Amino acid sequence: MESENSQPSRSQIIDINVDVPEGASGLNTSKICAGSTCGLSDSATRSKDAKERNASMQKLLIAVVLCIIFMAVEVVGGIKANSLAIITDAAHLLSDVAAFAISLFSLWVSGWEATPRQSYGYYRIEILGAMASILIIWALTGVLVKEAIGRLIHPTGEVQGVLMFAVAAFGLVVNIVMAILLGHDHGHGHGHGHGHGHDHGHGHGHADHDHDHHEDDDHSDDDHAHGHTHDIRITTHPHHSEDDKHKDESRHPLLNKPKKKKRNINVHSAYIHVLGDSIQSVGVMIGGAIIWYKPELKVIDLICTLIFSVLVLVTTFKMMRDVLEILMESTPREIDTTRLEKGLCELDGVVAIHELHIWAITIGKVLLACHVTIAPDADADLVLDKVIGYIREEYNISHVTIQIERQQIQHA
């Protein structure tokens, strides 16, 4: 997400390193950052952040408004037609609105400036908001499964296939519109081809949908550098081999390749919500169609609910894993610690590296802290600059804290 906007600051750093002669002490300006948090929010990143944030907020706002309108329509229609299915769908939409509201709130808050109490800024709130959204999805799925089993025991009566089908079709259309809205980044050229990816009708099973989706992903991923840093991808388990291939791609240094924007995690979690809803709508449509043909197979309704609930859970799995890894302060997947250590040890003056910690505040903002032991006669300033420069160029980590320790000569 933020990988593009380090480009101006990165080229700026490179210039300084070349111009200043060895041993000069005018290197301070590159280390002491303008503003309170360098790399995380200097003026260039902040304006880019603000622009992207505004774009995402607009998208989410439109999605929320659409949802509310649709929900009002459904509630009125459901009361008039006296159908439970439509009112249940409206309740589901209410949860969608809640999730979008959480995403909007997180987006808005993440723009606040850092305070002494919250010294890294408010970016983490996005991650917590995404986690809350996913937990809402899981809770809802649980409620649906409970309802389904309850209906198995206690059949509630006549289920109208036609009505189910109509409502589900309408829901699907609205969900597709929102998915296009949320998944489409302008200037991205990512071309998911949502139009045909979601076009199910009756015959296509879910496997086809995923495969289409992923094929498009593949083609456009080859265009950008860092295919795997787009790490919040919706794939199901059969595509595991593709994951490995993308991991290999990610080992190349980022230097001379154009980078594409990563998706904002809030917009992405809203997108997953909508995707889950459309999967459910598809299930209901299939069930409704079958019941339309043969009204005695009521149990299909429940089976469809169960199957598609499981599918929805599967789509959230990858995102939850990413969220958990960030919250556990683990090393981000795109950074190879062993290679970094080896590279650092190969710089002159550096004897050893220890206490290396790399962690992410949110997707795309990575920090590093380590202790570097240098030879007793080396120039601390020079080694510091070299280390910081190496990390910035090779791994694009802009916020780095290095503690230089001199190796003490042991007297026998």
User: Does 273 contact another protein by CB under 8 A?
Assistant: no
DSSP string, 316-353: HHHHHHHHHHHHTTPPPTT--HHHHHHHHHTSTTEEEE
User: Does 324 contact another protein by CB under 8 A?
Assistant: yes
Choose one: 63-71, 204-212, 269-277, 346-354; the region binding another protein (CB under 8 A): 346-354
Helix (H) or strand (E) holding 404: strand 399-406
Beta carbons within 10 angstroms of residue 207's beta carbon: 10
CA 294/CA 289 separation, integer angstroms? 9
For residues 103 and 60, the answer to whether their CB atoms sit within 8 Å is yes
User: Does 87 contact another protein by CB under 8 A?
Assistant: no
**Coil, helix or strand at residue 355:** strand
Residue 58 or 118 having the CB closest to another protein: 118
Applying CB under 8 A, which of residues 29, 43, 54, 403 lies at the interface with another protein? 403
For residues 371 and 353, the answer to whether their CB atoms sit within 8 Å is yes
In 262-298, alpha helices (H): 265-293
Choose one: 256-264, 267-275, 305-313, 332-340; the region binding another protein (CB under 8 A): 332-340
Residue 216 or 379 having the CB closest to another protein: 379
Applying CB under 8 A, which of residues 16, 303, 306, 356 lies at the interface with another protein? 356
CA 248/CA 48 separation, integer angstroms? 30
Residue 172 or 370 having the CB closest to another protein: 370
Handedness of CA 370, 371, 373, 376 (dihedral sign): positive
Angle at 143 between CA 140 and CA 148, to 5 degrees: 125
Least CB distance from residue 340 to another protein, whole Å?
A: 11
Residue 336 phi/psi, 5-degree rounding, is -100, 105
Residue 95 or 188 having the CB closest to another protein: 95
Choose one: 78-86, 186-194, 227-235, 350-358; the region binding another protein (CB under 8 A): 350-358
User: Does 342 contact another protein by CB under 8 A?
Assistant: no
Residue 257 phi/psi, 5-degree rounding, is -115, 145
Q: Which of residues 119-148 bind another protein (CB under 8 A)?
A: 119-120, 122, 124-125, 128, 131-132, 135-136, 139, 142, 145-146
Q: Which of residues 26-45 bind another protein (CB under 8 A)?
A: 28, 31-33, 36-38
Among 8, 19, 167, 32, residue whose Cα is nearest residue 88: 167
Applying CB under 8 A, which of residues 149, 207, 310, 375 lies at the interface with another protein? 149
CA 341/CA 135 separation, integer angstroms? 37
Residue 82 or 119 having the CB closest to another protein: 119
User: Does 113 contact another protein by CB under 8 A?
Assistant: no
Least CB distance from residue 21 to another protein, whole Å?
A: 17
User: Does 408 contact another protein by CB under 8 A?
Assistant: yes
Least CB distance from residue 166 to another protein, whole Å?
A: 27
Note the Cα 170 to chain centre separation in Å: 28
User: Does 69 contact another protein by CB under 8 A?
Assistant: no
Least CB distance from residue 393 to another protein, whole Å?
A: 19
User: Does 163 contact another protein by CB under 8 A?
Assistant: no
Least CB distance from residue 127 to another protein, whole Å?
A: 8
CA 112/CA 255 separation, integer angstroms? 31
User: Does 359 contact another protein by CB under 8 A?
Assistant: yes
State the Rg of the chain over Cα: 26
Applying CB under 8 A, which of residues 11, 25, 82, 256 lies at the interface with another protein? 25
User: Does 252 contact another protein by CB under 8 A?
Assistant: no
Rounded alpha-carbon distances, angstroms, from residue 147 to 72, 88, 150, 153, 296: 23, 10, 5, 10, 20
Side-chain half-sphere of 358: how many Cα atoms within 13 Å?
18
User: Does 407 contact another protein by CB under 8 A?
Assistant: yes
User: Does 116 contact another protein by CB under 8 A?
Assistant: yes
Instruction: Please give the residue ranges that form the binding site for another protein (CB under 8 A).
Output: 25, 28, 31-33, 36-38, 116-120, 122, 124-125, 128, 131-132, 135-136, 139, 142, 145-146, 149-150, 153-154, 321, 324-325, 327-331, 333, 337-338, 352-359, 361, 369-371, 373, 380-381, 384, 401-408, 410-411
